[in-house]
C-alpha cells in the first residue's frame, strides 16, 4: 500500500511524519506541493521519498493506492473527486468539503468505486475525547443536558473559510461523535472585523430533539487562548480544559437536582457538592491513531471512527449554521 500526501504546508508535515513512522503494511511514497521551497524541506527530511510539484503525478500514478489531501478547503472536493475517479482511497482534511452537495457526490463516488473515503477529524482520536466518550457511554453521568465549548485565541485569519468552518468544525465533529445525533435547529451569531466580510468571531446555538443543547463560541480575535468544553449532565458534569498540560478532564460529582416544585413559580433545588475525579488520559498522539484507522480501513475494510458519514453530518451542520447567521 503506497501513500501520496498532497500539501506540505501546516498539517502536511505532521501527516508525513506519522505515515512515515507507521509500521503497518503501508509506505509513504510521494509528497506533492506546488511550492518548491516546501518540497525542498520535504526532500531534506525524507531523502528517499519522491517529491512532485504537480498533483496529477500522484493521481495518475498507478503505483499510488492512497491519496492524503492536506490542501486548502476549496481544493478538497475537486481533488478528492479526481482521486476517487481513479479508484484511489482518499483521506481528506477536515472539513470534508465546502457544501453538502459536494460531500454527497464524493460519498456516492466512493461507494461506486468501492474505495475508502475518510475525513481527518483528528480530535476524535485524542485521549481526552475518547475518555469523555467512554464516560458518556458508561451512563454514570446521567442524561446530557448541555454542551458548552469555548475555542478562542489569536488565530490565523483564513481567506477561503470563516472561523465557523475553521474552528467550530472541531466541536461539531465532537458533538456528532458524543451525541450520535445531529441538531434539529441552529442559530448563529457571527461577526467580521475585516473588509472581506469573512467572520472571525461566532456563537452557535444548537438545539436537539432530545432536549440536549449545545453552544459553541469560536474566535480568531481573542488575546488569550481558551480551549474549554463543559458537558452538563443530570448526575455529573465534565470539564475538559485542553490548555491544562496533564489534568485535562475533571469529573464533578457536583451538581443539583430538582427536589420538588411547590407550585408553578417555586422550585426547590437540591445541591450536591462532592468529590472531583481526574481520570488518567492516554497520551498516544491522536494523529497517529487516525492514520492507523485509515490504513486499517483500507487494508481490513474496517469502518473508521471518522468515516464519511460523520464527515457529511459535520458539513450539514456547518452549512445550516452558516445559513442561520443573524444578519444585522
Judged by the rule CB under 8 A, the positions of this chain that interact with its own copies are 20-21, 44, 46-48, 145-146, 148, 150, 154, 156-157, 159-160, 185, 187, 189, 191, 193-196, 198, 201, 203, 205, 207, 213, 215, 217, 219, 221-225, 230, 232, 237-239, 243, 245-247, 250, 252, 254-256, 258, 261, 264-267, 269, 271, 273-280, 326, 328
User: Which CB atom, from 266 or from 323, has the smaller least distance to its own copies?
Assistant: 266
Record the cell numbers describing residue 119, joined without a space: 475525513
| Smallest gap from residue 301 Cβ to its own copies (A) | 29
> Can you list the pairs that 71-79 forms with residues at least 24 positions away whose Cβ atoms lie under 8 Å?
71/6, 71/7, 72/160, 73/97, 73/98, 73/160, 73/161, 73/165, 74/98, 74/160, 76/102, 77/102, 77/103, 77/105, 77/106, 79/6, 79/55
Q: In sequence order, what are the residues at sequence separation of 6 or more whose Cβ sits closer than 8 angstroms to the Cβ of residue 198?
A: 157, 158, 159, 161, 162, 192
3-state secondary structure of 35: coil
User: Which CB atom, from 10 or from 256, has the smaller least distance to its own copies?
Assistant: 256
| Smallest gap from residue 146 Cβ to its own copies (A) | 7
| Smallest gap from residue 121 Cβ to its own copies (A) | 24
Record the cell numbers describing residue 323, joined without a space: 445559513
Q: In sequence order, what are the residues at sequence separation of 6 or more whose Cβ sits closer than 8 angstroms to the Cβ of residue 323?
A: none
| Smallest gap from residue 198 Cβ to its own copies (A) | 7
Q: Which residues of 82-120 are buried (b: 16+ CB within 10 A; e: fewer)?
A: bbbebebbbbbbbbbbbebebbebbbebbeebebbbbbb
User: Which CB atom, from 47 or from 300, has the smaller least distance to its own copies?
Assistant: 47
Q: Which residues of 4-36 are buried (b: 16+ CB within 10 A; e: fewer)?
A: bbbbbeebbbebbbbbbebeeebebbbbbbeee
Q: Which residues of 37-70 are buried (b: 16+ CB within 10 A; e: fewer)?
A: ebbeebeeebeebbbbeebebbbebeebbbbbbb
| Smallest gap from residue 273 Cβ to its own copies (A) | 6
| Smallest gap from residue 120 Cβ to its own copies (A) | 23
User: Which CB atom, from 23 or from 301, has the smaller least distance to its own copies?
Assistant: 23
| Smallest gap from residue 160 Cβ to its own copies (A) | 7
User: Which CB atom, from 19 or from 308, has the smaller least distance to its own copies?
Assistant: 19
Lateral strand order in the sheet of 117-120: 50-52, 27-32, 2-6, 66-69, 89-93, 117-120
User: Which CB atom, from 222 or from 309, has the smaller least distance to its own copies?
Assistant: 222
User: Which CB atom, from 84 or from 249, has the smaller least distance to its own copies?
Assistant: 249
User: Which CB atom, from 113 or from 279, has the smaller least distance to its own copies?
Assistant: 279
| Smallest gap from residue 260 Cβ to its own copies (A) | 10
Amino acid at each position: 500500500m503506497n501513500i501520496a500526501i498532497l500539501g506540505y504546508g501546516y498539517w502536511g508535515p505532521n501527516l508525513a511524519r506519522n505515515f512515515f513512522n507507521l509500521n503497518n503494511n503501508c509506505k509513504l511514497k510521494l509528497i506533492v506541493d506546488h511550492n518548491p521551497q516546501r518540497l525542498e524541506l520535504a526532500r531534506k527530511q525524507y531523502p528517499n521519498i519522491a517529491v512532485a510539484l504537480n498533483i496529477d503525478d500522484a493521481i495518475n500514478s498507478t503505483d499510488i493506492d492512497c491519496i492524503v489531501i492536506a490542501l486548502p478547503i476549496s481544493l478538497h472536493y475537486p481533488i478528492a473527486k479526481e482521486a476517487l475517479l481513479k479508484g484511489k482511497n482518499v483521506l481528506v482534511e477536515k472539513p470534508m468539503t465546502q457544501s453538502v452537495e459536494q460531500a454527497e457526490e464524493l460519498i456516492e463516488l466512493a461507494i461506486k468505486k468501492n474505495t475508502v473515503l475518510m475525513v481527518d477529524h483528528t480530535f476524535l482520536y485524542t485521549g481526552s475525547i475518547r475518555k469523555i466518550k467512554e464516560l458518556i457511554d458508561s451512563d454514570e453521568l446521567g442524561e446530557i443536558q448541555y454542551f458548552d465549548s469555548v475555542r478562542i485565541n489569536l488565530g490565523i485569519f483564513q481567506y477561503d473559510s470563516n472561523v465557523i468552518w475553521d474552528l467550530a468544525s472541531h466541536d461539531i465533529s465532537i458533538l456528532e461523535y458524543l451525541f450520535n445525533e445531529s441538531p434539529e435547529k441552529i442559530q448563529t451569531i457571527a461577526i467580521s472585523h475585516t473588509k472581506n466580510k469573512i467572520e472571525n468571531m461566532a456563537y452557535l446555538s444548537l438545539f436537539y430533539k432530545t432536549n440536549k443543547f449545545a453552544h459553541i463560541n469560536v474566535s480568531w480575535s481573542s488575546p488569550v487562548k481558551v480551549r474549554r468544553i463543559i458537558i452538563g449532565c443530570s448526575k455529573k458534569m465534565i470539564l475538559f480544559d485542553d490548555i491544562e498540560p496533564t489534568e485535562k478532564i475533571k469529573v464533578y460529582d457536583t451538581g443539583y437536582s430538582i427536589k420538588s416544585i411547590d407550585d408553578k413559580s417555586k422550585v426547590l433545588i437540591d445541591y450536591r457538592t462532592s468529590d472531583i475525579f481526574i481520570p488518567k488520559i492516554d497520551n498516544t498522539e491522536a494523529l497517529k491513531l487516525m492514520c492507523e484507522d485509515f490504513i486499517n480501513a483500507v487494508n481490513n475494510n474496517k469502518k473508521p471512527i471518522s468515516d464519511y458519514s460523520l464527515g457529511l453530518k459535520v458539513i450539514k451542520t456547518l452549512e445550516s449554521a452558516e445559513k442561520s447567521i443573524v444578519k444585522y
